Amino acid sequence: MSGRFDFSVEPPENVWFNGKLVPWKEATVPATAMGASGSLAVFEGVKAYWNEQRKNLYVVHLGAHLRRLFESMKIVRMAPPIPLEHMAEAVVALLRANQLRQDTYIRPVAFYDGVKLPSFRYTIGQPPELLIATQAFFTHLLTHKGKKCAISSWSRISDNSQPPRVKCMSNYQNNRLAFTQANLDGYDDAIMLDERGKVTEGTMSCLFMVRNDVVTTPPVTSSILEGITRTAVIQMCREDLRLPVVEREIDRTELYVSEEAFLCGTGEEITAIVTVDRMPVGNGEPGPVFKAVEQLYHDVVRGIDGRYADWRTPVYE
């Protein structure tokens, strides 16, 4: 699996930094702030899809992503410097200012500057710096072949030590260890188990399986990031595809005998899992539930299908 992000793309013309549009080159953090500004950061990954026919860009689930960012800030005791609504306006203003007319990844970050606040001990209740950056991405919806996944020997972090519900940069060391091990071992991605050995999620995505015709996903208390795409998939399965959906614990061996399995997330989009630990899932090809979910998700986020209008924030109208 590759090609979801093109790292050779130009940086954005502007970023939004602490309330202002700033040319990308000028939005800098001192080198000595590096460790703190990265580790003491919470962030979001949001996507906007371009609709060529309507000549419009749709930001997907903007409100839900910003709500999660504000929840992350609350849990780590950052004082939000601006209201959520202002941040939503800032995202749209930035996309307009950069005149983006292509699929775009948007990254809001709230972080402590390690020069002004050189230790986490000074940060309690302080307002963070706020940055919003943009980057082109290339969708793999409706094009990909599916992922070969390994069950990782790294355990997923848990709510009592480093809560996965918080989308903070430092959590991703856990995901990186699992992904790197899987990748070096010849897999496309890893599925992580919690400390009790129950299935949690992929390294940047939530997980679904279809078992005995029931669409099944671990609950939000299973050491997962509370995925926004996960909620969308549950809703589409129930309301549009008329499929039963259950949120319950999943054992690793259930994946081996499931009819289908797939991953979902903003960056991940919807991706079939074709093997787990080299065992084929179903017949080893993307299955019918996955294909129906992928098609509907594609049509909805791009605004081809008018359903779920409240998921889309139009940038140019």
Determine the Cα–Cα distance for residues 113 and 130; give it in Å rounded to an integer: 10
Is 175 a residue that touches ligand PMP (CB under 6 A)?
yes
**Residue 244 phi, psi dihedral angles, 5° rounding:** -70, 135
Task: Confirm or reject binding of residue 80 to ligand PMP (CB under 6 A).
Answer: no
> Quick one: 17 exposed, middle or buried, by C-beta within 10 A (0-12, 13-18, 19+)?
buried
- Residue number, 123 or 313, with CB nearest to ligand PMP: 313
Cβ proximity to ligand PMP: between 206 and 281 the closer is: 206
Per CB under 6 A, which of residues 31..60 are in contact with ligand PMP?
45
Task: Calculate ∠ Cα 9-263-271, nearest 5°.
Answer: 55
Q: Tokens standing for 264?
A: 């979902």
Closest CA to 194 of 246, 157, 249: 157
Task: Please give the Cα distance from 130 to 37 (Å, whole number).
Answer: 11
Nearest to 260 by CA among 219, 225, 226, 294: 294
Show the binding pattern over residues 182-221: x = contacts ligand PMP (CB under 6 A), - = does not. Answer: -------------------x--xxx---------------
271 binds ligand PMP (CB under 6 A): no
Q: Which is nearer to ligand PMP, 114 or 265 (CB)?
A: 265
CA distances from 51 to 65, 89, 162, 267, 316 (A): 21, 21, 39, 18, 11
Beta bridge partner(s), residue 110: 42, 130
- Shortest CB 230 distance to ligand PMP, Å: 6
How far apart are alpha carbons 247 and 250 in whole angstroms? Answer: 9
- Applying CB under 6 A, what is the total number of residues that bind ligand PMP? 14
Pick the piece of the chain touching ligand PMP (CB under 6 A) from 177-185, 209-217, 260-268, 297-305: 260-268
Which residue, 117 or 166, is less far from ligand PMP as judged by CB?
166
Indicate the residue among 178 and 315 with the shorter CB distance to ligand PMP. Answer: 178
Position among 14, 56, 72, 266 found at the interface with ligand PMP (CB under 6 A): 266
267 binds ligand PMP (CB under 6 A): yes
Phi, psi of 298 (to 5 degrees): -55, -50
Q: Which amino acid is at 164?
A: P
Q: Which stretch binds ligand PMP (CB under 6 A): 112-120, 222-230, 279-287, 297-305?
A: 222-230
Residue 293 has what DSSP assignment?
A: H
- Asked if 108 touches ligand PMP (CB under 6 A), the answer is no
Pick 118 or 267: Cβ nearer ligand PMP: 267
Pick the stretch among 89-97, 110-118, 226-234, 301-309 that binds ligand PMP (CB under 6 A). Answer: 226-234
> Is 222 a residue that touches ligand PMP (CB under 6 A)?
no
Q: How far is the CB of 223 from ligand PMP (least distance, A)?
A: 10
* Residues whose CB is less than 8 angstroms from the CB of residue 21 and which lie 6 or more positions away in sequence, other chains included: 14, 15, 93, 94, 97
DSSP letter at 284? S
Is 228 near ligand PMP (CB under 6 A)? Answer: yes
Q: How far is the CB of 204 from ligand PMP (least distance, A)?
A: 4
Binding site for ligand PMP (CB under 6 A): 45, 175, 201, 204-206, 225, 227-230, 265-267
